[in-house]
Chains A and B, each alone.
Chain A
Amino acid sequence: MDSLGLRFTQAGSSLAPPDVAAFAAVDSVLLHEQEADHDDRSPLADLVAAGIVATRIRMIVDDEPAALRGPVFVTLRSTPIPTVRLTESGAPEVAAFVLADRVHGHFAWPRSRRGSALVLAACLPLALPDVAQAQVAGSAKGRSVAVEPASVVPPAPAGSAKGRSVAVEPASVVPPAPAPAPQPVVASEAPVVSPPVVGPPPPPRIASPAAQLETILQGMKGREAVVYAAGAKVTGLIIGVDGDFVTIIDVERDGKIALIPKLQIVEVRGRMSAQETDLPTGTGNLVAGGILVGVGGPLMLSGLVFLGISPSYLFLYLPQIVPAGVMLGVGIPNLVTGMRKRRAYQAASRGSRLSERLTPAVNRTPHGSWTGGLRLQF
């Protein structure tokens, strides 16, 4: 009897010819369901999936939520023909797909922007706690205060398919003049798309408190902040400010993703960490000491053992024992110094007292009840 192995060392496909007859158009209902493809955000999605709507209309397309303007139906996406560059780094622009950057995206959907709840926490961090923590940790090193310009990330080209690519016309910058006549170009096998003109962004004009808040939030994107809104406070890394919400990793709630309506925000403060970068970390001492002790220790030990076995060969073993002693003599003090510096660095960055590292933690269980306890930060 055949069994199914669950470890594949490489990709494999069936050796049999493809069963293309299975895809012949015999089921018109299936065809209509596919034709009526939809976005998950469509209020008709459930009905289409249930086959209710699809049997009654030939095409269903969804309108775009006014506040979000996200892509819905594939032929009605609002993105323009993208710029095609000749020199691309080849590195995928994965940053455009950061999940938390999409307020309207896949992990949380706000029920009402006027709802009493301040924070709409999603369950994503429960499934990916490491990601959330890594972002928090990574952000602590970035200290510059430069404000990132608000920009819309264009769709990231994924490179040529299977090593083949379409011919690309040299990218040229064209001034945004009204409708220049198309230039005839030598015919190629495929229509070539040239980059659309994107003018420089206009200088920011702060005209209202809302605009000021937007400017601040754009500047704080990717940095740690304390956000005050409707009597509550959320502390953490701001990862998205698009649309009507601010997306933040709440460090006080185990990295849950919080959505805060911008309308309810009353204050945003930058979160200042300790001056740990002013202190030496001790890494150099620890590494140097570790290497010297790691090499000198075995040398010294083996030299002493051989000397004990045959004491008459003292001068034979001295060239081994003496350098080993020097290594240990230098390495051990380096280790001690390095550990002392590291402790000081850690104390400055997190607080050395137990009371500062021990914080109360209250969490809601999946069953709806609450749990309480203390959390020790190392």
Chain B
Amino acid sequence: MIIVTGTKRSGTSMWMQILAAAGLPVIGERVPKHWSEPLNAANPDGFYESELVAGIYFRTNPHPVSGVFLFPDQTEQHAVKVFIPGLIRTDLAYIDRVIATVRGWRDFARSRERLRGLGRAGEAAEAAKVTPVLPPGLEWWAENFALIRDVATRRYPVHMLSYESLLADPERIIREVLAWLGVGDAVKASAVVHREGSAATRDGAVAEVDETGLEPAQLLVLDELHDHIHRGLALSSGFVERLNQVDRELRPRLLEHNAAVKAAALLELARAPHGG
């Protein structure tokens, strides 16, 4: 499969729209039927999400309800959105090409906050009452670090680029990516990005960014990592060591969050009259 990955609010939906416009077969609905109207407003051109966003692995394929099975060689040209944790879970046989989009963590934080405000048919609001929220900077770090580690570990074909570079020069970026994929109409695909520009501008309208859990030196590394991706630079061994060092520093904070999530879940279970 041609997997589009990244954190939430990092441009994965836009890349799905691009690939769909380019003529590639897509797995997923433009707008999932069960999503609320306010949420759909966050991406009027569609999300193209499927039940494979959590990965193509034993839990999702064969389909847990219908038993439908997707073979690797059947779906080599199919585009599918898979978030970073899902990519890490995905069986290597299904990873033919990966387009990884990374957004600057501050813009990610603003957009994430905006999405949280919209809610997803009321269910997120209920969950937010009981689930501790990971600060956006830590969420950005945990996922993007895991992505780079997975690329270095399993070494599948990947094209990692920044969300901002796509907005800055969509024709060139799309032409390069489609040439790498070997399929798709670049002219039709580029038309998608021009419509999307206004949404990106909307996300950037909020000035406040939550920097909780991150030291200034760590913030610098986050920015440098995004800059490397944005400019297409290789990660030197020294910089990789800095990334590993930051991850070691942030790990206790992430584990602390995990413990809080678990405690909240157990507390909610104890309160529930029927346990669920």
A76:B258 contact, CB within 8 angstroms = yes
A188:B258 contact, CB within 8 angstroms = no
Within 8 Å by CB of A23, from B28, B96, B236, lies B28
Q: How far is the CB of B118 from chain A (nearest CB, A)?
A: 14
A56:B276 contact, CB within 8 angstroms = yes
Interface size class of B (residues with CB under 8 A): 35 or more
A176:B28 contact, CB within 8 angstroms = no
A185:B92 contact, CB within 8 angstroms = no
Chain A 167-187 per-residue mask, 1 if CB under 8 angstroms from chain B, else 0: 001011110110111111111
Report B-chain residues with C-beta under 8 Å of the C-beta of A188.
232, 234
CA distance in complex: A47, B272 (Å): 13
Q: Which residue of B lies closest to A179 (CB)?
A: B242
B268:A61 contact, CB within 8 angstroms = no
CA distance in complex: A157, B130 (Å): 39
A81:B148 contact, CB within 8 angstroms = yes
Tell me, yes or no, whether A86 is within 8 Å of chain B by CB.
no
The A121-155 residues at the B interface (CB cut-off 8 A) are: 155
B54:A26 contact, CB within 8 angstroms = no
Q: Which residue of A lies closest to B141 (CB)?
A: A75
Q: Which residue of A lies closest to B55 (CB)?
A: A34
Interface size class of A (residues with CB under 8 A): 35 or more
Given A37-B85, A75-B85, A79-B149, A187 and B65 contact (CB-CB distance below 8 Å): no
B240:A56 contact, CB within 8 angstroms = no
A183:B275 contact, CB within 8 angstroms = no
Q: How far is the CB of B270 from chain A (nearest CB, A)?
A: 11
B85:A20 contact, CB within 8 angstroms = no
B53:A196 contact, CB within 8 angstroms = no
Tell me, yes or no, whether A268 is within 8 Å of chain B by CB.
no
Tell me, yes or no, whether A84 is within 8 Å of chain B by CB.
yes
A23:B152 contact, CB within 8 angstroms = no
A193:B152 contact, CB within 8 angstroms = yes
Tell me, yes or no, whether B78 is within 8 Å of chain A by CB.
yes
Chain A 3-45 per-residue mask, 1 if CB under 8 angstroms from chain B, else 0: 0000000000110011110111111101101110100000010
Report A-chain residues with C-beta under 8 Å of the C-beta of B255.
63-64, 76
* Stretch binding the partner chain, chosen from A105-113, A158-166, A246-254: A158-166
Binding site for A on B (CB under 8 A): 25, 27-29, 32-34, 49-55, 59-61, 63-66, 68, 70-75, 78, 84-86, 88-89, 92, 95-96, 123-124, 126-127, 130-131, 142-143, 145-146, 148-149, 151-160, 176, 180, 224, 228-229, 231-245, 247-248, 251, 254-255, 257-259, 261-262, 264-266, 268-269, 272, 275-276
11 pairs of residues in contact across A and B, judged by CB atoms under 8 Å? A23-B50, A25-B28, A28-B34, A63-B258, A73-B85, A75-B145, A161-B155, A169-B237, A182-B235, A183-B238, A192-B234
Q: Apart from A165-B157, A191-B158, what are 6 other A-B pairs with CB-CB below 8 Å? A: A23-B51, A53-B269, A56-B269, A169-B237, A187-B231, A192-B235
